[in-house]
Amino acid sequence: MADVTLRHVYKVYDGGVRAVNDFDLEIKDKEFVVFVGPSGCGKSTTLRMIAGLEEITAGQLYIDGQLMNEVEPKNRDIAMVFQSYALYPHMTVYDNMAFGLKLRHTPKEEIDRRVRAAAEILEISELLTRKPKALSGGQRQRVALGRTIVRDPKVFLLDEPLSNLDAKLRVSMRSEITKLHEKLETTFIYVTHDQTEAMTMGNRIVVMKDGFIQQADTPITLFEDPCNLFVATFLGSPQMNIIDAELFMDGKQLKAKLNGLDNMVVTFPDIKAKQLANKKYIGQKVLLGIRPEHVRPNEGDLKAFIEVVEHLGDESILYCKMENRKDPFIIKIPFNSKIHANEEINVAFNMDHIYMFDADTHKAIMGIPHEDKIPVRINNNLMQVGEQDIVLEKDFVDHLLDSAFNADIKLAIKPDYITLNKPESEEEKAIALKGKLEFIEQKTDYQAVYFSLAGLEGYFAIKIANGEKVALGKEVELYLPYQRVKLYDEKHNKVNSREIIHPNKGVCTVKTINGMMKINVGGATLTYPNSENYADGRYEITFKQDKLVPIFSKKMLKNNKALTNPEMEAPNKIKVSAYDEDVLGDKLLIYVQIPGFEHYASLVVPNNFSVYKMPKFEMYVPSDAFELKAIK
Ligand code: ADP
């Protein structure tokens, strides 16, 4: 057993580079997971945090259910293989492989047994007496793998292990490593920037960009249902063709005028048209995507002028010039030696495989959504979803920010997390929504099932296993686990938190002098005009969640107009220490200890600093940031 779980992991480097944000992933025992993305997207940083070579700024890392954040790398029972294999040149292959075990004082016979077993697995038994300089690049990389195999780790971490090898060797080592994974039956986490490597090796692929996970799915699902334009164009070779288009209705049929392709018109099949995320896109500009293999030559009436042909053995790739289009339009067909450059052909799209993206956000807007999103309103412990009123239990309500209540908010959840069966254990509480099953689309790895919710437009989609039976037109309960539900306000700031939100309540004393009042709280004395005529005495003080202002630099003081008003110049500040933060969007939720308060306070502040860089700081307390209630 060796599952690896990352819970909302962040890495902020010294200097403030946010290299990894909210990395949330469960890697199952024996899984082969690949992190892929362009250079600088945070793959290595994440891997190094798992290895313990890099401190985790925030969030939790579990290996086999045990919290690992503070555990030394050597005690994590993991092995890491790097791109530079750094073998000891003066040692034989045998000694290179045995070295680590010798350091650990493993008995000699045991070392011998393990080295020979590993050499057998890697098919390098006949090389054991050689020195590294007498090995090829591929053999050296195998020895480097051997060095880690002998340690019998629970988890293998591989950081671009093949990037120093030539192209041909890389291809053969790919399958070697896949085979090795099957033989060892251990969890593998593999980092690469090469999409082909990722697609051919991983059971599951985590596509990253700018420090954020874009999508984590099986290769087939990533290919069939990319969640955005980035994933769609990053995976697949040659790349998906992207076309500017405009949607319109022709009677009952959804059609698109291809502005980017000679204004040709295409018609969506019914099953696709129904999957349009939002009717607001009709009449609007969108981006259509069609993979080169889903374009049919010698059909339809779209004219393509072939500029270049690449015959690649089993397939031919055509690079075409099209009217109104700058980029070449790429077509992939089974090998056909009769097709030549400088010819014009007619092509048609296989519309069962069309993709659609929002022209601005680049999110996929047709097909199973990356996240289902529905408007909701919460009042006390009641959540209104269309025509349904849902009672929320204390567990859920305790994680809501003040701004979640009585406001138009959005509930978001990944379709993968929604189930048709009520969770069995008490801990897995879930929101139960009633939905009517409208239609199903069969995918390679799963069935996409689309529901309508009474009183709401659009659809609510879930994924269920192939073979699971469901009945069309029936109303059923859908279960949304509390832990997986995210709530957002109109500005896309999250309004539910990881930690429980306690009321920001403490005790203070008030002393009045000449129309002013002095409040003693949190080890500070705050002075305000006594406009409410409070009497001397003890009060319960409640700080409002979003009114305190953290002071974290002189520049910030200067730039913040609110702080330069005369009242704010008064020394009305409290020293606090923070113990965690939760990025909400352009706001940050910080959990701070105010001296004398029983629980931590939860405060919403701008997202332009991090408490991890500044765990102790001062907070300005404007006069509208608190309420007082006399204690009798
Ligand atoms: P990848 O492996 O995807 O190429 P990295 O994890 O190496 O990306 O880097 C992610 C981001 O963090 C990049 O912007 C990189 O410049 C930055 N970074 C990496 N290591 C450090 C470091 N030691 N100090 C500061 N910034 C770093």
- In CATH, what number is assigned to the domain containing residue 389? 2.40.50.140
Q: Which residues of 100-130 are buried (b: 16+ CB within 10 A; e: fewer)?
A: ebeeeebeeeebeebbeebbebbebeebbee
From the CA of 157, how far away is ligand 1's center (Å)?
17
For the Cβ of 82 lying below 6 angstroms from any atom of ligand 1, the answer is: no
Atom of ligand 1 nearest to the CA of 48: 6
Q: In the prediction, which pLDDT does 557 show?
A: 66
Task: Tell me the pLDDT tens digit for each residue of 462-503.
Answer: 999 998 988 888 899 999 999 899 999 999 999 999 889 999
Tell me: do 417 and 276 sit in the same domain.
no
- Token pair, residue 73, equals 């790398």
For the Cβ of 21 lying below 6 angstroms from any atom of ligand 1, the answer is: no
Tell me: do 348 and 376 sit in the same domain.
no
* pLDDT of 582 above 60: yes
Residue 298 lies in a domain: yes
Tell me: do 193 and 56 sit in the same domain.
yes
Task: Tell me the pLDDT tens digit for each residue of 54-69.
Answer: 999 988 999 999 999 9
Q: How far apart are CA 18 and CA 49, in angstroms?
A: 14
For the Cβ of 328 lying below 6 angstroms from any atom of ligand 1, the answer is: no
Residue 618 lies in a domain: yes
From 9, 10, 11, 45, the mutation candidate for ligand 1 (largest count of ligand atoms within 8 A of CB) is 45
Residue 417 lies in a domain: yes
From the CA of 23, how far away is ligand 1's center (Å)?
15
Domain termination site, one of 231, 262, 286? 231
Q: In the prediction, which pLDDT does 383 show?
A: 98
H or E, element range at 526: strand 524-529
For the Cβ of 47 lying below 6 angstroms from any atom of ligand 1, the answer is: no
For the Cβ of 42 lying below 6 angstroms from any atom of ligand 1, the answer is: yes
Q: In the prediction, which pLDDT does 104 show?
A: 86
Q: Which of 279-283, 567-571, 578-582 has the lowest mean pLDDT?
A: 567-571
From 9, 17, 83, the mutation candidate for ligand 1 (largest count of ligand atoms within 8 A of CB) is 17
State the average pLDDT for the chain: 91
Sign of CA dihedral 459, 462, 465, 469: negative
For the Cβ of 463 lying below 6 angstroms from any atom of ligand 1, the answer is: no
Residue whose C-alpha is closest to residue 34's, from 217, 163, 290, 170: 217
Residue whose C-alpha is closest to residue 379's, from 365, 366, 397, 354: 397
Q: In the prediction, which pLDDT does 564 show?
A: 55
Q: In the prediction, which pLDDT does 561 show?
A: 62
Domain of 147, CATH number, reads: 3.40.50.300
Phi and psi at 18, nearest 5°, equal -85, 90
- Once rounded to an integer, what is the mean pLDDT over residues 270-289? 93
Binned at pLDDT 50, 70 and 90, residue 569 comes out as low
Q: In the prediction, which pLDDT does 141 show?
A: 85
* pLDDT of 589 above 90: yes
Tell me: do 269 and 407 sit in the same domain.
no
Ligand 1: which residue has its CA nearest to atom 14?
Answer: 40
Domain count, the chain: 4
Tell me: do 217 and 76 sit in the same domain.
yes
Q: In what order do the strands lie in the sheet with 187-192?
A: 78-81, 155-159, 187-192, 32-36, 204-209, 212-217
From the CA of 12, how far away is ligand 1's center (Å)?
10
* pLDDT of 442 above 80: yes
* pLDDT of 142 above 90: no
Q: Distances in Å between the alpha carbon of 130 and those of 112, 124, 148? A: 16, 10, 19
Atom of ligand 1 nearest to the CA of 38: 3
* pLDDT of 560 above 70: no
Q: In the prediction, which pLDDT does 567 show?
A: 56
From the CA of 59, how far away is ligand 1's center (Å)?
18
User: Hey, is 168 helix, strand or coil?
Assistant: helix
Domain termination site, one of 336, 358, 380? 358
For the Cβ of 192 lying below 6 angstroms from any atom of ligand 1, the answer is: no
Domain termination site, one of 167, 198, 231? 231
Q: Which of 18-27, 57-66, 265-274, 576-585 has the lowest mean pLDDT?
A: 576-585
Rg (C-alpha) for the chain, rounded Å, is 30
Residue 363 lies in a domain: no
HSE-CB of 508 using CA atoms within 13 angstroms = 29
DSSP string, 82-102: -SS----TTS-HHHHHHHHHH
Task: Tell me the pLDDT tens digit for each residue of 178-219.
Answer: 998 998 899 999 999 999 999 999 999 999 999 999 999 999
Atom of ligand 1 nearest to the CA of 42: 6
Q: Distances in Å between the alpha carbon of 180 and those of 112, 142, 203, 474? A: 20, 10, 14, 47
Task: Tell me the pLDDT tens digit for each residue of 60-109.
Answer: 999 999 999 999 998 999 988 877 767 899 999 999 999 989 988 999 99
Residue 500 lies in a domain: no
Task: Tell me the pLDDT tens digit for each residue of 302-344.
Answer: 889 999 999 888 999 999 998 888 899 999 999 988 888 999 9
Tell me: do 69 and 169 sit in the same domain.
yes
Please report, for the chain, how many H helices and E strands are present, in that order.
12, 38
Ligand 1: which residue has its CA nearest to atom 15?
Answer: 40
For the Cβ of 439 lying below 6 angstroms from any atom of ligand 1, the answer is: no
Q: In the prediction, which pLDDT does 182 show?
A: 92
Q: What is the DSSP letter of 294?
A: G
For the Cβ of 212 lying below 6 angstroms from any atom of ligand 1, the answer is: no
Q: Which of 141-150, 204-213, 540-549 has the lowest mean pLDDT?
A: 141-150
Task: Give percent above pLDDT 90 in the chain.
Answer: 70
Distance between first and last Cα of the chain: 58
For the Cβ of 241 lying below 6 angstroms from any atom of ligand 1, the answer is: no
* pLDDT of 544 above 60: yes
* pLDDT of 565 above 60: no
| Number of neighbours of residue 70 by Cβ within 10 angstroms | 9
Residue 261 lies in a domain: yes
Q: In the prediction, which pLDDT does 357 show?
A: 97
From the CA of 45, how far away is ligand 1's center (Å)?
6
Ligand 1: which residue has its CA nearest to atom 10?
Answer: 42
Ligand 1: which residue has its CA nearest to atom 21?
Answer: 13
For the Cβ of 612 lying below 6 angstroms from any atom of ligand 1, the answer is: no
Tell me: do 509 and 471 sit in the same domain.
no
Residue whose C-alpha is closest to residue 153's, from 123, 124, 122, 118: 118
Tell me: do 256 and 339 sit in the same domain.
yes
Tell me: do 468 and 513 sit in the same domain.
no
Tell me: do 36 and 180 sit in the same domain.
yes
For the Cβ of 207 lying below 6 angstroms from any atom of ligand 1, the answer is: no
For the Cβ of 11 lying below 6 angstroms from any atom of ligand 1, the answer is: no
Largest pairwise CA distance in the chain:
98
From the CA of 36, how far away is ligand 1's center (Å)?
14
Residue 181 lies in a domain: yes
Atom of ligand 1 nearest to the CA of 17: 26
The type of residue at 518 is K
From the CA of 469, how far away is ligand 1's center (Å)?
46
Tell me: do 32 and 169 sit in the same domain.
yes
Tell me: do 145 and 24 sit in the same domain.
yes
Ligand 1: which residue has its CA nearest to atom 27?
Answer: 13
Q: In the prediction, which pLDDT does 55 show?
A: 94
From the CA of 178, how far away is ligand 1's center (Å)?
27
For the Cβ of 316 lying below 6 angstroms from any atom of ligand 1, the answer is: no
Residue 366 lies in a domain: no
- What angle do helix axes 167-184 and 108-122 make, rounded to 10 degrees? 130
Residue span of the structural domain in which 170 resides: 4-231
